[in-house]
Every structure is written in structure tokens, then in C-alpha cells.
Structure 1
């Protein structure tokens, strides 16, 4: 999260920035929100996008938090500040806890879109362990829509009127491989269905690639709760996938270049914005030019929406977010024409993460593409 400071600022500026943002230093992934700050959690895919919007771009563009007493404070999906996870010996991620707001105890880190959505209404993410308490998280970052029953329904049952979704940007989701790969240059969604259900186990089984590698394909899928995973699974299902993964499919942290690097037979759904950040040197030389998108004619590509999600009743809150303004945090950060994600002043911050600004109020939209309240 704090790589903006580490990469682009000199030591003197870094120290000043760290003090102004309430950070201990550039190596930490975690902010220290206080009572007036707006806290974001969830999606790995858009965590750097919101970091750039809040704190500025690697090239020195100003962020929303400049000169503000109440800030946007975004927790990364994983704890190492580089979009990666720490794993147990069996390949499962280590559990991590964070303090999401001063004065509260540690809670599980929301990892992925649906982890972020759950933190909007699950009691452990409120002071006192009850939804009557003060919320620790204000906004969920999501690269996939909320689930209607589980998430919108959960928020409604908790007394929040459901969840409200705003699209703020778009990007391409594609299949990706290591830079040195045995995969063909074109892999369609139909091919991916058969790779992920176990029908195709070697590269030369893909139609049009009979002369290709006979090496065994290593298909990877993001962790449960990932919006990338739910979007990819919806695309597989639409193309005929039966819902069961083949035995070779392995779970990894979404958008982790190291899950692909050096593995010529690995393939995974991957954010193109993240590939661009990797290759820009934002994460240092270790991540640069290690992952490439599969982009041959006819290859899988999903121009997906990226979302910010709030509790329905927070939209009408009368609590001002910034001193001297009547706007609440939803208005100041999301919906006002001069908000953090709509203002032309921060469009370049979104673009710096490889994503395209595009605002739309989707209401109580859900993963099925319909509305949980029947309004859309």
C-alpha cells in the first residue's frame, strides 16, 4: 500500500509524507485510522488504485488526502505491501489480523471483494462486537458485485438496508502466464473451461495447438472471496463450465506474480492493471516483466467493472465527513461530482493503476446482474 512513498519520493519527502498520513514508514501495508477517517477494505485488484487516489501517484500526482484532517485509509488485502500473501507449507495463506480503527481489537483482514463486503455487516467488524457499535469499515473495494442473499441480504438483516454499489472504473481481466511459457498465444474462454474442468491437461490438446507443448498444464485460481475469482467463474459458467474444478487446479493469492513466475505451465485469471504495475517497476525489479496477458486473437478478455460498496443507510447519513462541508463520506469520496473517484482532478490517479474512470450508480446490484430490491 505504501509503495507510492517508497518508489517515488525522496527520503525527506518520504518522512514528511509518512508523518502527514500517520504512517510509521513505507514498508508497512497498514494505515492507522482514527475516528474521523473513512476505512476501505477488500479487493486486491483495486487496492493500489484507491491508494493512488488517496495518497498520490508514483509520479508525484497529488491525492485526495492532501491537507485533509479526515482521510481515506485503505487496508491492503494482504499484509506485505506488494499484493502477495504469506503461505503455510501446504500452500494455504496464513491468517492475518489487523486493527481497522483505533480503539478496537484485531479482526481478520478482509482479503478479496467478498471479504470486504462481509466486513460491512458482520458484527466482529463493529466496536463491541455488535452491529449497534461503530463500524470499523466504511467502504468495500470490490472487483465483482455483491451476492444478493449472502451479502446484500446480510446487510439488510443487520439493519443497514442492504448494500449499495457504485461502479467507479473498468479494466481488462484476462488469462495470464509467466513471461517464458509453454502456453499458446491464443486461449479462448471455451479453452479455459476445458483447462479448468480437467478435460485439457496438456497444452497440445487445445484446438489449433496440436504441435504445441506436451507439458502438463498448471491451472491456478484465486482464493475464495476474490472478486476476480467470482467474475472468472461466472464467465466459465456462461461458456458451459459445470462448476467443478479438475484435480490439477491450485489455489493462489489473486494477482500474485510469484504464483506464475518461473512456472512455464501455469495459467491464471489476472488483472491487466496489476500486470501493468508489475511491469512498470512499481514493486521493484523482482516483479518486473514476470507475467504477461494471453492476448492472441480470440483469447479470453472480460472488460470488467470495478466497484465501491457501502451500507445502504450510510448514503443518507447526516454526519459531515470533512470539516466545513455538509457532505457525508459517501458523497465526499464517491458520489459528488468533485468526489475522490469522480473528480477530474483524480482521474489520472485511477489511470496510473491501469484502470479507466467510469462512474455509475448501480443501486443494490448483485452478482447475478440484477437488483436485490427490484429497482434495476
Structure 2
């Protein structure tokens, strides 16, 4: 993974659309002119990197035409751990900004900050659909709404520790019980209160972990439980906030639980974060009553830009992402998602 992705697009005819430009010595590369820039979701940032630059399995990305795509990661750490306040220059000649972290962070920047005539960002990585409010902002700005291109499907389960024996037991945790764990005030605080609990330590206190509120995973997860942000358990009530899909807060804590991407676990098992050596630090609860859902993940653009040359080359039907023989190995084999491309049109949650 790279903090930014720089590529040439491997689609016929794209070479005439964009061009590479020199970057200043002594600084990170900055997007210029016609370069394509994206921000947002931690969940799919590695898939975006692989689609751009190729992957660790040797599958090539967009590298034929000498153009450049920049996919700025959600955090400033290549392992996906939280780096609070990390900044980035999204396009040359501009001031640094705090990295838009997560789907919500990316969409907020997209629809509330990057609203001038000359856009710094062309697309947002997202693990959820835009909200109606976000899409309404895009309409009000004259963009005709937000266009969603589905990249694939991701599973979401509950992670528990594996480096140390978890107290969770093997029965799983239902969505109904998770709601009681994550709600404010919490109605379930110890393992013995979980329905059907069969673990070794019923009196131990559960440590619930959630990503930041800007995270698409967090927003999707609490919606699945039937909670709003205002109803979520607070840190004063024992909730822990951590970067999404980071195994570190879970792996050595016998009482920790967190929503976790099945795609990210594939990358961990493949050794991507450990110099190619496979890792197995967490377990995802499965079977029985265990919380287990599937969600689509997206690249989101301004609907007013769907006919631009860069969008036709990258995301629109006929572009690189839509061509399974090019994109599927990068999205599925390397990044762990189920590749399932679709032009989802203007999409938002109710």
C-alpha cells in the first residue's frame, strides 16, 4: 500500500486524456492539473491502491498511459492505524488539510468543503451509500446528485482476540444483544448477560470497540443494530474508539469486540501487513446467532462529471473497474472483497 497512488490508466485511448507532471524535490508527490484524486474510506483504501498501482500478488493496475490517479489513504499510516490529525496536500499549490478519514469524512469534505469551481477531489471511497442529506447537498450544488459505482461486496462480522483466548465463547453475539452492548446506557456489560453464552468467564466486562463516527463502517454497523449516533454508548460508559479494521485493540484483549471487515482479514491472513508472513491475530465470530452481514462498497463521483474522460476510463461502464479480467484479481484476490461491479446510479439511503 502507498499513502498515495500514482498510475497510468490501462484503457485504450486514455493516454491522450491526462499527463504526468513533475513534483517538487524534497516533498511528497502532489496532484496537479488533470490528475485524479480520491479520499475517504479506510475499508476500501487498499483495493483503491491496488487498482491504481497493482498489488502484492503481481497483478498490474492502471499503468499503461502515463496518467496519474491519487488515492489518499484515510490515515497517515500504511498499516491503517489511527494517526490523529495527520494532514495531506490534496493538490499542489494548496494548504495541507486534515486527512478526510472514512466514508463520512470523505463525503463531508466532498460536499461541504470541495465545492468551488476547481475541485481538489474527484471521487470518494465509501463503504456505505451517501445519505439523503449528502445527496441533497450535491443536488443543491448543481451536480445532479452523487453517482455510485459499486466495486464489490464486503462482509462485516464481530472480531474477538486470538492471540489470547477470548472470553466470548463460541455461540456468537446476535444483533439484538449487540444493540444492548453498544447502546447508551448499555443494557449488557458482562459476558454472562449475552444470550446463549457458553464462554469461560461470564463475570468479565465486555470491552466494546467502535471506529470513529466519520467511519462508514461505524455508520453502517450502528444502523444495522437500529441505533442512531445519539443513541450510541459513550466513552464514559466504557466504549473504546479506534481506527476501523485495526486488529491491535482487539487481538490481545480477551474481552474486546469490534465490527470488522472480512476483506481486511483476508489481507491480514495473506501477510500484507507483515512482509508477506501470514498472521492470525483475531477471530471473526460465525455461525449460530452471530452478527454476519454483507454490504456493497463504492466509488462515488459527482453526477455532473460522469461523462468526463477520466470517469469513463476509470469507473463508468466500459472503464477499468468494470472489466473483470483487469479489476477482479486486484479487488478479490489481493484486497479480499467479492468483486461485483455495478453502475448503481444516483444512490442514497432514505
When normalised by structure 2's length, the TM-score is 0.85
Given the alignment, which residue of 359, 369, 376 partners 2:341? 359
Equivalent pair of 1:219/1:266 in contact (CA under 8 Å): yes
For residues 226 and 160 of structure 1, the distance between their equivalents in structure 2, rounded to whole angstroms, comes to 24
| 1:243 Cα offset (Å) | 2.8
Q: Deviations over 1:211-239 (max 9, x none)?
A: 6412100001110111101110111008x
SS of the equivalent of 1:307 reads strand
Is residue 31–residue 75 contact of structure 1 (8 Å, CA) maintained in 2? Answer: no
Q: Is the 8 A contact 1:31 1:73 kept in 2?
A: no
Give the equivalent residue in structure 2 for 1:14: none
- 1:245 to 2:236 alignment: no
Match in the other structure for 2:13: none
TM-superposed deviation, 1:361? 2.2
Aligned to 1:183: 168
Summarize the Cα distance change of 1:207–1:359 in structure 2 as closer, same or farther, 3 Å threshold. same
State the secondary structure of the residue aligned to 1:332: helix
Please name the residue that 2:149 is paired with. Answer: 166
- In the alignment, is the contact (CA less than 8 A) between 1:275 and 1:292 conserved in 2? no
Q: Secondary structure at the match of 1:267?
A: strand
Once residues 3 and 74 of structure 1 are traced to their aligned partners in structure 2, the CA distance between those partners, rounded to angstroms, is 8
**Does the residue aligned with 1:195 lie in a helix, a strand or coil?**
helix
Query: Deviation digits for residues 44-74 of structure 1, max 9, x if unmatched?
Result: 000001111111111111111x132222211
- Residue in structure 1 matched with residue 130 of structure 2 by the alignment: 146
Match of 2:267 in 1: 277
Name 1:254's counterpart in structure 2.
244
* 1:56 correspondence with 2:73: no
Give the distance between the partners of 1:211 and 1:223, measured in 2 at CA: 29
Query: 1:164–1:311: 8 Å Cα contact kept in structure 2?
Result: yes
Provide the residue aligned with 1:114 in structure 2: 104
- Normalized against structure 1, the TM-score is what? 0.79
CA contact (8 A) 2:156 2:260 kept: yes
Q: Kindly tell me: are residues 211 and 48 of structure 1, through their superposed partners in 2, closer, same or farther at Cα, counting changes over 3 Å?
A: closer
Q: Which runs of 5+ in 2 are unaligned?
A: 6-19
Once the two structures are TM-superposed, the CA of residue 210 in structure 1 deviates from its matched residue by: 5.8
Give me the CA root mean square deviation: 2.7
Greater mean deviation of Cα atoms: 346-355 or 210-219: 210-219
3-state secondary structure, aligned to 1:350: helix
Distance (Å, rounded) in 1 between the aligned partners of 2:156 and 2:238: 22
1:136 CA displacement:
0.9
Give the distance between the partners of 1:3 and 1:121, measured in 2 at CA.
Answer: 23
- Decide which of 273, 288, 299 is 2:290's aligned counterpart: 299
Q: 1:101 to 1:294 in 2, by over 3 A?
A: same
Partner Cα distance (2:230, 2:119) in 1: 39
The answer to which structure, 1 or 2, has the higher relative contact order (CA under 8 A, 6+ apart) is: 2
C-alpha spacing 1:136/1:73, structure 2 compared with 1 (3 Å)? same
The change in CA–CA distance for 1:4 and 1:36 in structure 2 (over 3 A counts) is: closer
1:39 aligned partner:
37
Paired residues in the alignment total 324
Distance 2:143 2:4 in 1: 35
Deviation at 1:331, TM superposition (A): 1.4
2:75 equivalent in structure 1: 78
